[in-house]
Structure formats: structure tokens, C-alpha cells
Structure 1
């Protein structure tokens, strides 16, 4: 797969916040289940670079199982007010241990605690029990990720940038990875 470069990399850089910005965008990640049907959920975009887009999750999750069986994935970044959207289609690759730990270290204290406590037992508990378990764990050390913490790099094959226009038609520009490497540009109807 080709790394992002040139015009497409410049477009990504103009649209997404830098990786050192603590407020991370929410993304929707679409996978395919064992019956070939789509599945969708919202996670945080941990970071991005010329290789692709990174998100982290629980290795015990349905999305992790689906990605292990079928690594094809689509990612949507939607801006407030439906003014812009970026759709990325590609393949998800598991991250190495260093990138998994690095993504965990950048999480807020709330999300680190959630990574440790969010299991089947907590999910089945009533609201009062969940809150009590949460409060009881508040003083624990959550500086290292749990074994169930993992992450993925989505290597793009196609990126579609859509921008609304209150005074005229919306505009879509799509970049497609070419078989011999590099990216082709396509202007599409809004």
C-alpha cells in the first residue's frame, strides 16, 4: 500500500488536528461481520500520519474479532453541522506494542480507567453497581494499559473529502490508490 503523499497528505493535514492536540476527533468505524453485514461504532481517532489513521479499542470487542477475520474497514470523520466529512476506505493492521502503549498514554484518566474496568461483568451490572465499582477503582494506578488494550492502523486505499457549500453545490474530491503506487484524483458530484 502507498503512503499518503503530495496533495492527499496536504489535504489530510489541512482537515485533521495535529496528533499533539489532546481533543481527538470522533470517528465512525465500519467493519463486516461473519455474515457479511456491516457493523458500525464510534471511537476516537488516536493519531494519523503518512501511513494512515490509528484508533485503539478493547481486543475483546466485536470490532476486533471482525477485523481479525476481515481487515477491510471504512472510517468516517464528520464535522459538526454536517459541513465536512472525510471517508477513508482501507485495511486495518494491528499495531505493535509500542504504538498500543503510546496511544493508551495519551488517553484521559477517565478513558484509561474505562479501559481497565469495561468488561462483561461491568456491562451486566446495574447502574448503581457500575458506579460503585467505578468509584472503588478511582485511586488505582491505571498508568499502564491492560492486556486487552489494542490498536489498529487503517491504511487507506481511498479517501473522499466532502465539503458543504451554503451558497452552492457541495464538493467531493476522492483520492484513490493506484495499483502501481501513488494516488489519482477524482472530482465527484456532491
Structure 2
């Protein structure tokens, strides 16, 4: 793939994501989010990309869970998209900001009522005695709020990863892969730097 004419990685990200939508069997917007805990140990898990633009890449979560707590503590994260059907991946690293209340409300209100209730019922990342406990808590939450106009919990919102680097990887024959990285500079993006595979 010829990356030499690219001056902005974001349109290329859009192209690759749109192509993945055509070929991935499930969740082409799935991405791994990497964080570190207070001891410096890494944690990684899959989430769904729920928005992106020139400001960054957005996902939503419970801020009281491990993921939320680790992002809040460091204000940094790494993302990885891997599209097996396309033999491609994109790595993104950068600082993190919290989305606006308006953004979080808009996305929260677009979710299925059961998902909105689940945001209240789940004590994310904390021990759960058994599945029935969660089912019962969900029922209690539904009895309290109903299924209309469910407010967004104060501990539930979104993070925007503001990319400092975006690396594109395309599988190549005999492991001679194609890798380029864009780095954000004060006045825009650097020209892509090719890396050894």
C-alpha cells in the first residue's frame, strides 16, 4: 500500500473502518483499550468505538470500574483495531479527556432501555456473588426508573482518546508487513514514517 501521498491519517482510518464494515462478521468498531493500574501493570479489554473525529476516538464506560479508574488516574490510553478479514490493524496512543455531558447524554439516550438500566445495575469490575444478584438488581432498577426517561448515572460517561500517534499495519507476504506511523505535531500531522515490520 502506498502511504507516501497521505498527509492526514484520519481519512485513511475512515477508509479502513468502512472497508471493515463490509467484511468483518461482528463489530467492526471493536477495539482493544490498554491502560495501566496503580502498580504499573497493564490491562487490556475490548470495547466499542462510539464516535471519532479530528478531536479523537470515543468510548463509553462506568467510571467506577477498573477501566474507568485507570483512565481517570493516568489520563492516557492505547487503542488497537484488528480486522482479521482485512489483515490490518491500527494502533492509537494519546492522552484522554472526558466527553461533554451533552455528548454522554446523547449517546446514553440512544441505547436500548435495558442497556441504560444496566449502567445503573452493574457495579462494574467488582465481585459478583452470582448471576441472579445482577438479574435482581436490574429488576429493582427497572422498578425504580421504568423504561422511559432513564437518567444517565453520574458515574457513566465517555472518554476521548486524543491521538498523538496513529500507526497503520497491513499484512504482507512472508511477514514483510507494511507499517507506517503518523505523529501529531503542533501544526498538524507529520508525514508518515515507515517502520520495519
State TM-score, norm by structure 2.
0.78
* Change in CA separation of 1:79 and 1:117 when aligned onto 2, cut-off 3 Å: same
Cα RMSD, aligned residues only: 2.9
Q: Paired residue for 1:149, among 156, 163, 168?
A: 156
Instruction: Report the counterpart of residue 20 of structure 1 in structure 2.
Output: none
Instruction: Report the counterpart of residue 7 of structure 1 in structure 2.
Output: 8
Instruction: Report the counterpart of residue 85 of structure 1 in structure 2.
Output: 89
Per-residue CA deviations over 1:36-80 (Å, capped at 9, x if unaligned) read: 221212211111011110011001112222222211210111113
Distance 1:122 1:138 in 2: 21
* Change in CA separation of 1:167 and 1:141 when aligned onto 2, cut-off 3 Å: same
Distance 1:78 1:121 in 2: 25
Distance 1:121 1:33 in 2: 13
Per-residue CA deviations over 1:116-136 (Å, capped at 9, x if unaligned) read: 211269952312333344456
Whether the 8 Å contact between 1:24 and 1:46 is mirrored in structure 2 is: no
- Partner of 2:163: helix, strand, or coil? strand
* Change in CA separation of 1:32 and 1:153 when aligned onto 2, cut-off 3 Å: same
Distance 1:111 1:172 in 2: 38
Q: Which ranges of structure 1 fall in alignment gaps of 5 or more residues?
A: 18-22
Instruction: Report the counterpart of residue 46 of structure 2 in structure 1.
Output: 42
Task: Answer yes or no: is 1:159 the counterpart of 2:166.
Answer: yes
Write out aligned runs for 1:62-101 (5 A): 62-81=66-85, 83-101=87-105
The structural deviation recorded for 1:6 is 4.7
| Greater mean alpha carbon deviation, residues 110-119 or residues 145-154 | 110-119
Give the number of equivalent residue pairs: 182
- Partner of 2:10: helix, strand, or coil? helix
The structural deviation recorded for 1:180 is 5.2
The structural deviation recorded for 1:94 is 0.9
* Change in CA separation of 1:99 and 1:128 when aligned onto 2, cut-off 3 Å: same
The structural deviation recorded for 1:91 is 0.6
| Greater mean alpha carbon deviation, residues 141-150 or residues 120-129 | 120-129
